[in-house]
Structure 1
Amino acid sequence: MLASDLKNDPVLVDPIDRLVSAYRPGYALERPFYFDPAIFERDMERVFFRHWHCLAHESVIPNPGDFEVFKLASEAVILTRGADGSVHALLNLCRHRGAEVCTKEKGNAKAFVCPYHAWTYGNDGALRAARLMPKDFDRQAHGLKKVHVRVVEGLVFISFAKEPLDFSEVEALLHATCGQYGWASAKVAHRQSYTIDANWKLAVENYVECYHCGPAHPEYSETHALEQPLHMIEELNAVMEARTCALGIEIGSGNHWQSSAGGKETIHAFRYALYDGVKTGSKDGQPLSTLMGRFSDFDGGVTSIHLGGTSFLVCYADHGMIYRFIPKTVDTCEMELIWLVDGKAEAGIDYDFEKLTWLWRVTTDEDKAIIEHTARGVRSHFYEPGPIAPMEQNELRYINWYLEEISRP
């Protein structure tokens, strides 16, 4: 049953609240959470527009005037670098009639000229010219609307919220993790997007659990110990941490996975080991690129970061990964993968493109198939949520967090 079928329910006025209250603890979500347009709209309002999202690495706009347009759900954001080097995130809609002012995906421009009536905006969003408007027209009051932006360790984050969630715990933990890996001086080696025929939550739920890693990702499971239950890799993790300490590096971790009720953004950073002899996330476990940040050698470990509900980061000693989950419609979403390397590394000399990207391209191809298999199965009227397995503890945590978020006005 969909939320739209419950409009006249005498017990709860809001049909979505009724579905939330009927959730069976320890189980997967009911079918409507993945197919009901009303729930998708609430997802946008109370999750997507409330939380911070990783948009890009700032190296995609290295020079003053550089810009790129990012599309997220129904919104389009122009990420641009001003003449003074500052980063701006502008909504791509003219303040006159709402037309898109930037019609190219990326480039370099000193100004954006609306193709409709030629209103002209600086790359900081200020309205520079509005032809034939009356003398008393206030240009200062009609600049492009901005979304909140933070740049931390080279990562650009945005929030659509009128009053954004406190970002201080996130910033501190990113310094303690990505900062040790030198992400502030990294650059993008490759970006690849995957269109997924599934609700965005099915994609995120798949990402946060590794119960499926053994049967679904044989390539990943050859090198990453996370494919086993956590209690079975404690010894491997201890050896990994000893190697990290021996390199004189202290990488932070912390669990601040929390609802927005306290006004703070959510983040969880944790570490886990690669198998013995494996140095990084590659096909054969051997190095892929030059070492990054404070690393003078490989520690055989991985740092994983879950942030804000849609952004996920993976740190190796010689490269990094950004996973962005982007809702599109109630039953489609997009995953963008971004590979980072040291800013001085040169393609074809310090790293081989095919080798660098192989593991996560293979793994994501497999994930796309799995997620879409699940979406087709959940669409069945005979679908019934099953119990969450112990190895899916992060999925259960995510489900509980999500339900709390959409229950908050």
Structure 2
Amino acid sequence: MTKLHAGTALAHDLSATTQPLDAIDALIAQQRPGFALTRPFYTAPDIFTRDMERVFRRHWHCLTHESAVPNAGDFELFKLGDEQIILTRGADGNLHALLNVCRHRGAEVCTRQKGNAKAFVCPYHAWTYGNDGALRAARLMPKEFDRSLYGLKQVKLRMSAGLVFVSFADTPLDFDPVDRALQASCGQYGWGNAKIAHRETYAIDANWKLAVENYVECYHCGPAHPEYSQTHALEQPLHMIEELNQSMEARTCALGIEVGSGDRWQTSENGQEAIHVFRYALYEGVRTGSQDGSPVAPLMGRFTDYDGGVTSVHLGGTSFLVCYPDHGMVYRFIPKTADSCEMELLWLVKGDAVEGRDYDLECLTWLWRVTTDEDKKIIEHTSRGVRSHFYEPGPIAPMEQNELRYINWYLAELARP
């Protein structure tokens, strides 16, 4: 892992460049090591613009699970920042991530959220595109017009363990190590054969970084999430749950399963994506993430019993995954404006599980709905606070080590051209 510290190191790196510091670079250089970000990083429109250019468009993002578009012709429209992506499955079964921008005058060619279609017809001048993005028809254009040059633009798409990832970068970061890490973790839980049981989107009146920072630390879990803290030992410092973690790993091994973990949280400087896979224990007697720790769906993947543990994945700055033996969670953070974002949650279950027979939707979703409702309130309380001109960043607590690492990573990405 590349360890980067904001402040002195970044100031040195920036001073070594031939170009003078702009206002944002100066703020990065002034960042106090070990402290939260200063107010402009959560409020300034020009910093949000750079966030989108240097962080969001540089990294891979989990879009959905492939079960969202299971059949040929199925499509769904996804909005990420200022961009719209049509995820569609072609007649050959392959997935395509098409930008929703007509190659004629730029109109949106897809105007429905989801459905099934053999082609997308622009409502402006009726240019018609296939599911693979190829321009099939351009009415009344001259004979010499070459349709092959005007297909819909596509973003890079990769799949791993049933998940669909996209990158807006011209030269995407190396995805192969990410794929190996996901196969060794989510793959053991059977995510490749899973399906989406439920999705829920939360509109947050806060900068996207406040939402992510809240997610990556559990210092707040005890006071803010009493329901989560009754079952998940992560609400305690790591050194206090070492024995629980050892018992969890012993149970996993006894099942004949080896769930991969590893820390490759790094900047994109060397063309690599950031990913951190780690495991932690539930409290004794708790089997999964539910209201009382009882199972909520059929066991998945290689699991023939519960090991009393959780596998968590942090990936590329906006995508976070949670694996239980009987269900999975995908947590997506979507920047909207300098002071607004969205969090989307996907609940995954075994692909052949039937609602009402194999799982009850209310029981399946209860814990993370309650927790996310609480998170939304916390994040928005914080957002209103940091907008104050009297806001002054405080020191990061030891239990917020992942937040500090995220802040340092973010600042390093923001400083890179």
Q: Report TM bin, short chain.
A: over 0.9
Supply the distance in 1 between the matched residues of 2:345 and 2:203 (Cα, whole angstroms): 12
Distance 2:378 2:324 in 1: 25
Give the aligned partner of residue 136 of structure 2: 128
- For the residues of structure 2 that align with 1:18 and 1:252, how far apart are their CA atoms? 40
Shift of 1:12: 4.6
SS for the counterpart of 1:333 is strand
Aligned-partner Cα distance in 2 for 1:14–1:96: 37
After TM superposition, the structure 1 stretch with the greater mean CA deviation from structure 2, 11-20 or 273-282, is 11-20
Preserved contact between residue 205 and residue 395 of structure 1 (Cα < 8 Å): yes
CA deviation vs aligned residue, 1:327-374 (integer Å, no higher than 9, x gap): 000000000000000001110111000000000000000000000000
1:374 match: 382
SS across alignment from 2:186: coil
> Which residue matches 2:234?
226
Partner of 2:90: 82
1:276 aligns with 2:288: no
Question: How many angstroms apart in 1 are the aligned matches of 2:321 and 2:362?
Answer: 21
Following superposition of structure 1 onto structure 2, how do residues 195-344 of structure 1 map, counting pairs within 5 Å?
195-344=203-352
The CA deviation string for residues 166-211 of structure 1, in whole angstroms up to 9 with x for no partner, is 0111000000001100000000000000000000000000000000
Partner Cα distance (2:314, 2:218) in 1: 14
**What's 2:16 paired with?**
none
SS of the residue 2:211 aligns to: helix
Which residue of structure 2 lines up, in the alignment, with residue 48 of structure 1?
Answer: 56
Distance 1:378 1:123 in 2: 45
Q: Tell me, what secondary structure is at the counterpart of 1:336?
A: strand
Q: For residues 212-249 of structure 1, give each alpha carbon's deviation from its aligned partner in whole angstroms, at most 9, with x where no partner exists.
A: 00000000000000000000000000000000000000
1:92 equivalenced with 2:97 (yes/no): no
Output the CA distance in 1 between the equivalents of 2:108 and 2:87: 14
AA matched with 2:381: H
- Distance, in Å, in 2 between the alignment partners of 1:241 and 1:13 is 49
**2:147 corresponding residue in structure 1:** 139
1:41-98 CA-to-partner distances (Å, cap 9, x unmatched) read 0000000000000000000100000000000111100000000000100000100000
Matched with 2:47 is: 39
Mind listing any 5+ residue stretches in structure 1 that lack a counterpart?
1-10
Matched-pair contact (CA < 8 Å) for 1:153–1:184: yes
Which segments of 5 or more consecutive residues in structure 2 lack a partner in the other structure?
A: 1-18
The C-alpha deviation readout for 1:225-281, integer Å capped at 9, x for no partner, is 000000000000000000000000000001000000010111000000000000000
Alignment TM-score, normalising by the size of structure 2: 0.95
How many residues align? The count is 399
Q: Could you say what secondary structure the match of 1:195 adopts?
A: strand
- Counterpart of 2:28 in structure 1: which amino acid? V
- Structure 2 residue 357 is the aligned partner of structure 1 residue 349: yes
CA distance in 2, matches of 1:166, 1:305: 17
Q: What amino acid is aligned across from residue 88 of structure 2 in structure 1?
A: T
Letter aligned with residue 80 of structure 1: T
Is residue 175 of structure 1 aligned with residue 171 of structure 2?
no
Further displaced range: 167-176 or 12-21: 12-21
- Kindly, what percent of the aligned residue pairs are identical? 76
1 CA distance for matches of 2:200 and 2:149? 38
Amino acid at match of 2:296: L
SS in 2 for 1:112: strand
In 2, Cα distance between equivalents of 1:164 and 1:238: 37
Q: Please state whether the residue corresponding to 2:188 is helix, strand or coil.
A: coil
Q: Say whether the 8 Å CA contact 1:12–1:18 is kept in structure 2.
A: no
Q: Could you list the runs of 4 or more consecutive aligned residues of structure 1 that deviate by over 3 angstroms after TM superposition?
A: none
What is the alpha-carbon distance in structure 1 between the residues aligned to residue 392 and residue 21 of structure 2? 25
Quick one: distance in 1 between partners of 2:357 and 2:241? 35
Q: Which amino acid in 2 is paired with 1:383?
A: Y
Secondary structure of the residue aligned to 1:400 is: helix
Amino acid corresponding to residue 66 of structure 1 in structure 2: D
Aligned equivalent of 2:395, options 387, 392, 398: 387
One-letter amino acid matched to 2:376: K
Counterpart check, 1:71 vs 2:79: yes
Deviation (angstroms), 1:314: 0.0
Match of 2:39, as an amino acid?
A: R
Query: Equivalent residue for 2:370?
Result: 362
Whole-angstrom distance in 2 between the partners of 1:93 and 1:152 = 27
**TM score, norm. by length of structure 1:** 0.97
Question: In structure 2, what residue type is equivalent to 1:293?
Answer: G
Shift of 1:13: 3.8
Rounded Cα–Cα distance in structure 2 between residues aligned with 1:136 and 1:236: 71
Q: Which amino acid aligns with 1:32?
A: P
Separation in 1, partners of 2:147, 2:405: 47
Give the letter aligned to residue 40 of structure 2.
P
